[in-house]
Chains A and B, each alone.
Chain A
């Protein structure tokens, strides 16, 4: 069955004075799909989510959620959205049940359907037994789960998740990611921002790699890997003369210098382990301190596209 487009972002641009936080961003996300925005902090992911969730007004471009223009018909667009912000946007002095009741009320749920849904969501997130305790007594992971629960209490068709696993212990992270998958399986379109490569690799059906407000590449994981080719990435640290090193290394067959500066080198090549002696020979005279070999991954692609590692 053909999936329908739920979120459509076209040439989105958001400017704060002279700073362009988001520059000509376009993508679409469909129902049942987890679409990831992967990039470092300050890449423009949260600003993009802010524009989609109607919190921020785009400088230019258009955003449609379930066919509704988020600027012209913001209320209608918000009805179909659930937002799980980066912050734990809960009332610490209220119980889990009261928080869910409040956020469900804000989404227009009332009475018996709200109560029923609260019970469901508490069960889903494993918080049923702690439903009446004040949130301030919860662990960080439990708060994150409740934060997520408040975003899905009204069964949104479009779920916006802005780095929902920041500061979460591994167990809670696994549980949260399962919950996200469950929403997608149920037919929701999930927009997920993260700066964790592994999370994006294991969770997202399609991805956009974002850096400095621009989308560098987008597609499925396979499509993105294909962009890099089946090559390993060798990263070297030490003291280098970038121009000399670049000249020496490009003479070796199959080696591509994807980044070179005084302290770091990043090389892409097939079967790197067999080429190491040649590479070390070419770098003779450089003060080499560390070597890391990485198999093809999003990280390799990120380095290739942006010329730098994904920094937190």
Chain B
């Protein structure tokens, strides 16, 4: 264990001599939090979307229903457009709107004559938050209308929602949706930069030299891992704090979230180390890193949250290493930590460490 500390201290000391690097790493999550705050407001006022309404009724009841979406908070959130059914379907297929409401012909008359009537809602499967809001708002409006209509009879208006996307809603607002992905984006970039240090050590001959000492090569890699864990914990804590201050992010357990960022960051670091050790030169290693990092960051919710991705991409992204880390961080922030998640991550890190020790030593010699 002694040399693990020595090795970790060596890397932390070296890093301390590069304050610009540290500042840049701390700046990434802060910068992301500031940008998100500027875009969505400190409380996450949410993105703006389009609601398409097909008014086949063209009477008072339909107009009242349409107008309801022009009022209050909904007006800030939604641009309501009246379209034909065919156009509405076409635009929704192109993911050009959050939802489509079809008010059938005779809706108003049915309301007056207390006849059963169905209002269709078709959600954009690529989105989650806005379709949810539209669905819930429409349900409330129709409920009220139905209760008025059925004051002396059976309720007759029925909402037919065509729900395609799954409904697991993320508590904690937009910060909770956007921040984990952004945080892991910076963790991934830092992991790549830290792993690149292996090439500096390889080129200088330090790796060969350490391999010729009696110390186990695993202790050397473990030391580097420990130093990385500290860096990820600091960056994670800083990012979460920035998100809490700027975006009022709700964090159920600070220690659990920071521990998670640190442990999963170590996994990503080892992944990048393996990628780098497969390269034949430092330049190839850098190219490989970018080749791996950028698609994974994009798929893993770094740039775009899963909720805003097409369903297939979102599913795929959630099973990328960083995407999985993002999903677990969200769960942790929401207060549902899973012991098995940590156990799985620690097991993955241990396996990656074992593989790295062999691979990096072979590359060094």
Contacts and interface: CB of A to CB of B under 8 A. Distances in A.
Interface string B1-41: 01100110010011001100000000000000000000000
A94 B10 contact: yes
B168 interface: no
B213 interface: yes
Contact of A90 (B6, B18, B206, B208): B206
B17 A106 contact: no
B76 interface: no
B43 interface: no
A78 interface: yes
Interface in A60-92: 75-76, 78-79, 81, 83, 85-92
Contact of B209 (A76, A85, A105): A85
A50 interface: yes
Contacts of A89: 204-206, 208-209
A81 B209 contact: no
A78 B214 contact: yes
B205 A88 contact: yes
A53 B3 CA distance: 20
B211 interface: yes
B211 A85 contact: no
Contacts, number: 73
A85 B211 CA distance: 12
B213 A93 contact: no
B215 interface: yes
A45 to B, nearest CB: 15
A108 B6 CA distance: 11
Instruction: Tell me if B's interface is mostly helix, strand, loop or mixed.
Output: helix
Nearest to B365: A55
A69 to B, nearest CB: 15
Nearest to B207: A89
A107 interface: yes
Contacts of B14: 91, 93-94
Contacts of A98: 10, 13
A111 to B, nearest CB: 11
A185 interface: no
B67 interface: no
Given A86-B205, A105-B3, A134-B17, A91 B214 contact: no
Taking residues whose C-beta sits less than 8 angstroms from the other chain, chain A's interface range is 20 to 34
A308 interface: no
Nearest to B364: A55
Contacts of B6: 101-102, 105-106
Given A54-B212, A56-B365, A78-B212, A88 B17 contact: no
Contacts of B213: 78, 103, 106-107
A261 B365 CA distance: 39
A93 to B, nearest CB: 5
B210 interface: yes
A92 B10 CA distance: 12
A110 interface: yes
A106 B215 contact: yes
Q: Which of B18, B212, B365 has the most CB of A within 10 A?
A: B212
Contacts of B215: 106-108
Nearest to B216: A75
Contacts of A110: 2
Interface string A163-178: 0000000000000000
Given A102-B10, A105-B3, A134-B17, A53 B206 contact: no
Interface in A220-235: none
Contacts of B10: 91, 94, 98, 102
Contacts of B214: 75-76, 78-79, 106-108
Query: Nearest 9 A-B pairs (CB), nearest first?
Result: A87-B205, A89-B205, A105-B6, A89-B209, A106-B213, A53-B212, A78-B214, A83-B212, A55-B365
13 contacts: A55-B211, A55-B365, A78-B213, A85-B208, A86-B205, A87-B203, A89-B204, A94-B14, A105-B2, A105-B6, A106-B210, A106-B214, A107-B215
Interface of B: 2-3, 6-7, 10, 13-14, 17-18, 203-206, 208-215, 220, 365
